[in-house]
Amino acid sequence: MTNPADPSTPKPWHHYARALANLLCDRGDLTDPAWYNAIAHTPRHRLVPQIWKQEGAPEWTPVDTAGPAGLELVYSPTSLITKVDARGVPISSSTKPDLMVRMLESLDVRGGDRVLEIGTGTGYNAALLTHRLGDDNVVSIDVDDELVETARARLARFGAHPILAIVDGENGFPARTPYDRIIATCSVSTVPWAWAEQVRDGGRILVSIMPTIHAGNLVLLEKHGDRLEGRFSRRLGQFMSMRHTGEAPETLASAQPAGDERQRTTTAPTEPWKISPVAWMWAALELPGLSLGYSLNDEGTVDASYLTTPDGSWATVPLGRGERTITEAGPTPIWYVIEKTLDRWHSTGQPGWERLGMTATPGRQTMWLDAPDGHHHWPLTGN
């Protein structure tokens, strides 16, 4: 028999779920009472029964989310590693609840709305949507059959039965059109036009636009006839790239010889996290197919960033501050383009995400600064 006064005795999961909802309210992430109720009444630990935790060592330790420590983690605004491969590399995670609820609130759903979710994952977001809108109004799709079947079984155990399907997210799910809202928990370089065709006029699509790794953010688009248009989120929200049927896991390109090497100096920061995410996205738009990686020294620690483009060009830039010598090769002067992009970003007032928007039509998708008809436009890759 458990003793409620014993600190090792876990409190009921409802206690933790309400605490999470209250915390999200206190932080300003959650303002809608309907989403508060969804957070407070959704048993996330049943959808994420085990997570992996690393504490100062290369080994990952499984944590049962039914225990006190696990309940504290699963009902917190923390990224959760849900799958680790044989090498000890995390390959799957559960979206942070604070990001998830910000996305749901920005969709501005109303009772009776029909929503398509691209990327089922653990099923937690589908569970929140189902709590708000009912089983028949929520469709969630994923290319990963194991994820979908696992989520289906776990959702059913507490009475949630959204429509789940194993399909390539790029094609949407036309059987249940039209949708009032489409939300994607994966990133794309451009919006698949099937989504635009499946959302009603005046409907909304929320997706992370990322033309390359580390570059991009959430954009909320509204449909007007044959046009999608909207602005990027003020706060950063990025996801792994959408996977497709039969597609190999995403890998980073390696720097390869591409003709004669050349050297010059730079003072620009090399790590993406030291460059404004907005400026880094501008650079990615100027360099379609840009890939980022790192090189290791003899001690096995990172000593330089390397960047590559599909034409075989590459640049290696030592980490650190101040003047450094870069080495590059190939027809595209990668680091020169990045430095010029940084200069342009500074000259336009170092704009944040709130000044950026996107317009998509059947044959063209562009990003713009301040206004769709302004002077600064960038064609997005994949057109």
Lowest mean pLDDT among 34-43, 44-53, 99-108, 266-275: 266-275
Give yes or no: 92 in active site.
yes
The residues, any chain, with a CB within 8 Å of residue 227's CB and separated by 6 or more, are 359, 360, 361
Q: From the candidates 92, 106, 241, 295, which is the catalytic residue? A: 92
Domain locations in the chain?
1-77, 95-250, 262-347
The mean predicted confidence, pLDDT, of the chain is 87
**pLDDT tens digits, one per residue of 150-168:** 999 999 999 999 999 999 9
Cis peptide before 7 (omega within 30 of 0): no
Q: What percent of the chain has pLDDT over 90?
A: 53
**pLDDT tens digits, one per residue of 261-288:** 888 888 887 776 678 888 888 888 888 8
- Amino acid 129: pLDDT: 98
pTM for this entry: 0.87
Average pLDDT rounded to a whole number, residues 59-66 = 87
As its CATH architecture, domain 262-347 has: 2-Layer Sandwich (3.30)
- Amino acid 59: pLDDT: 78
Query: For residues 81 and 204, which has the higher predicted lDDT (pLDDT)?
Result: 204
Q: Is the pLDDT of residue 89 over 90?
A: no
Q: Is the pLDDT of residue 346 over 80?
A: yes
Average pLDDT rounded to a whole number, residues 316-337 = 88
pLDDT band with cut points at 50, 70 and 90 for residue 8: low
Question: Can you point out the beta strands (E) in the chain?
Answer: 50-53, 61-64, 80-84, 90-94, 115-118, 138-142, 163-166, 179-188, 199-212, 215-224, 227-232, 262-266, 291-296, 302-308, 314-318, 324-329, 356-361, 364-369, 377-379
CATH number among 3.40.50.150, 3.30.1360.70, 3.40.50.720, 3.20.20.20, domain 95-250: 3.40.50.150
Is residue 41 within 8 A of residue 61, CB to CB? The reply is no
